[in-house]
Structure 1
Amino acid sequence: MNKIESFTVDHIKLDRGVYVSRVDHLGQEVVTTFDLRMKKPNRELLDNEAIHTLEHLVATFVRNDEEFSSRVVYFGPMGCLTGMYLILHGSYQSHDIVPLLVRAFKFVVDFQGDIPGVSEIECGSYKLHSLSKAKEEAKIYLEVLNNIRPDQLIYPQ
Structure 2
Amino acid sequence: MKIIVESFTMDHTKVTAPFVRKCGHINTPKGDVITKFDLRFTQPNVEAMPTGAIHAIEHLMAGFFREELEDIVDISPMGCRTGFYLIKVGESTEEDVAQALMKTLQKVIDAEEVPALNPIQCGNYRDMSLFGAKEYARVVLDKLKQIYK
Is 1:43 the counterpart of 2:42 in the alignment? no
Task: For residue 147 of structure 1, give the secondary structure of its aligned residue in structure 2.
Answer: helix
What are the within-5 Å matches in structure 2 for residues 97-116 of structure 1? Answer: 97-112=97-112, 114-116=113-115
Would you say how many aligned residue pairs link Structure 1 and Structure 2? 146
Q: Percentage identity across aligned positions?
A: 39
Is 1:78 the counterpart of 2:78 in the alignment? yes
In structure 2, what is the equivalent of residue 13 of structure 1?
14
Q: Following the alignment from structure 1 to structure 2, what is the Cα–Cα distance between the partners of residues 127 and 5?
A: 32
Q: Which residue among 18, 21, 24 is the counterpart of 1:22?
A: 24
Contact 2:69 2:97 in 1 (8 A): no
Unaligned runs of 5+ residues in structure 1 are: 150-157
In structure 2, what is the equivalent of residue 154 of structure 1?
none
Higher relative contact order (CA 8 A, sep 6+): 1
Unaligned runs of 5+ residues in structure 2 are: none
Read off the aligned partner of 2:43 and give its amino acid letter.
Answer: K
C-alpha displacement at 1:15, in angstroms? 1.4
Once the two structures are superposed, what CA deviation does each residue of 1:49-99 show, in whole Å capped at 9, x if it has no partner? 000000000111123x1x524x11101100111001111111122112122
Q: TM-score, normalised by structure 2?
A: 0.92
Read off the aligned partner of 1:72 and give its amino acid letter.
Answer: I
Q: Following the alignment from structure 2 to structure 1, what is the Cα–Cα distance between the partners of residues 98 and 15?
A: 18
Q: Following the alignment from structure 1 to structure 2, what is the Cα–Cα distance between the partners of residues 8 and 22?
A: 12
Is 1:57 the counterpart of 2:57 in the alignment? no
Q: Following the alignment from structure 2 to structure 1, what is the Cα–Cα distance between the partners of residues 147 and 102?
A: 11
Could you tell which deviates more after superposition, 20-29 or 52-61? Answer: 20-29
Contact 2:60 2:115 in 1 (8 A): yes
In structure 2, what is the equivalent of residue 117 of structure 1?
116
Task: Name the Cα RMSD after superposition.
Answer: 1.5
Q: Following the alignment from structure 1 to structure 2, what is the Cα–Cα distance between the partners of residues 92 and 68?
A: 9
C-alpha displacement at 1:14, in angstroms? 1.4
Q: Following the alignment from structure 1 to structure 2, what is the Cα–Cα distance between the partners of residues 75 and 37?
A: 12
Off by >3 Å, runs of 4+ in structure 1:
none
